[in-house]
Amino acid sequence: MPARAVPLTPSPARPVAAGAVTEGLLHAAVELREALRPLVFSLPVTHVYNPLEYAWEAHAAYVRKFATGPRRVVFLGMNPGPFGMTQTGVPFGEVAAVQDWMGLDTPVSKPAREHPRRPIEGLGCRRSEVSGRRLWGWAAGRFGASEVFFRTCFVVNYCPLLFMEESGRNRTPDKIPAAEMEPVSAACDVHLGRVLSLLQPEWVVGVGGFAEKRLAAVAPAAVPAARIGGILHPSPASPAANRGWAPAVDRQVAALGVFPAPPDCG
């Protein structure tokens, strides 16, 4: 039987001083990590990675560098991919984007129980996280330097856990039994509410349908004035994403009103 998450009380939505945002986000992430730590999951899940544990310093470096105050747009992902945040501690953390574009170079340790087919190699990982390559490639193409993108935007994952089967296959949160996901969702909802209360965005954008649904459930209480939208998930499992994800997202954010359409966006 899965353990229950530690009950947490959402913080009320209110403006937060810029100097308090970074430490507030880190504190919220620590509380999420501790709430998820005792949970257990049934077969076919055999291994669970939480990069907020073994990649904490790398995650903290990302937050300290790029979440220094309120942000106009918050993008929300679902959970880590095996070659993204799982390796780097950064949401959608494709290695080249994290190291070369973001300029982050923090060592990552190992989870307590490592899957033999999914070793944690940190920035030494040679596999590319396609979703992260697409997301951060779009950000780089549209905004140029990472500092420009993060001046107005921030990216966070809803759930920090990666679930794996014995074969090493990734099992997404929507495939986990509802009774086992209930305490996960409770803790993640509270964490998301705190993140939004701290960042006070005008826009909250779900990367994929799962994330958009969680924003619709959480954002109205945390940031009542924020507008909610969604964009196509960049996963290679999506035929639509494989037909040109970046141009599709440019059209979507323009239609929503998050950003204007670039000159060459058809």
Q: Given a cut of 80, is residue 265 above it in pLDDT?
A: no
Residue 18 DSSP one-character state: H
The per-residue pLDDT for 19 is: 72
C-alpha 79: how far from its chain's center?
Answer: 6
CATH number of 18-252: 3.40.470.10
Q: Given a cut of 70, is residue 55 above it in pLDDT?
A: yes
Let me know if 14 is exposed, middle or buried by CB neighbors in 10 A (0-12, 13-18, 19+). Answer: exposed
- Mean pLDDT over each residue of the chain, to the nearest integer: 93
The per-residue pLDDT for 16 is: 56
Q: What average pLDDT does this structure show over 202-228?
A: 98
Q: Give the predicted TM-score (pTM) of the model.
A: 0.92
For 1, 94, 263, the CA distances from 254, given in Å and listed in that order, are 46, 25, 11
The per-residue pLDDT for 90 is: 98
**pLDDT tens for residues 77-121?**
999 999 999 999 999 999 999 999 999 999 999 999 999 999 999
The per-residue pLDDT for 15 is: 53
The per-residue pLDDT for 2 is: 38
Q: Given a cut of 80, is residue 216 above it in pLDDT?
A: yes
Residues 94-122: b if buried by 16+ CB within 10 A, e if exposed:
bbebbeebbebebebeebeeebeebebeb
The per-residue pLDDT for 222 is: 98
**pLDDT tens for residues 29-53?**
999 999 999 999 999 999 999 999 9
Contact 223, 196 (CB under 8 A): yes
The per-residue pLDDT for 17 is: 62
Q: Given a cut of 50, is residue 9 above it in pLDDT?
A: no
The residues spanned by each domain of the chain are 18-252
Percent of the chain with pLDDT over 90: 90
The tokens of 158 are what? 């809803």
